[in-house]
Amino acid sequence: MDIQYLLWLQELRIATGGVFDEFFNALSKFAVDIMPFLPFVVFWCADKKWGYRFITSWGVGELINGRNGLHLQQSWQYSAVTGET
């Protein structure tokens, strides 16, 4: 991701005086606390076939991203520990 984009977002946040901070904090909280249950709601309430697909793709994504899987060190963490560049 380009740093200029992040700096632009920061400038936008400062220019608005933090008016949208609570909204985006609530949105982030929703994404962290509620969204992980969505595959199970689809499975139980809507369609088991789509629920299985949803749960499988979510599980594979978690495994690939390393949250519940391999817990690999990032390259910047490795270089900080070993002193290599």
Cβ 43 vs Cβ 52: under 8 Å: yes
Q: Residue count of the chain, please give it.
A: 85
What's the whole-model pTM score?
0.47
pLDDT digits (tens, 9 = 90+) for 4-27: 888 888 898 889 888 888 898 998
pLDDT digits (tens, 9 = 90+) for 54-63: 888 888 887 8
Q: What is the mean pLDDT of residues 75-79?
A: 58
Burial of 13 (0-12, 13-18, 19+ CB in 10 A): middle
Please give the pLDDT value at position 83. Answer: 59
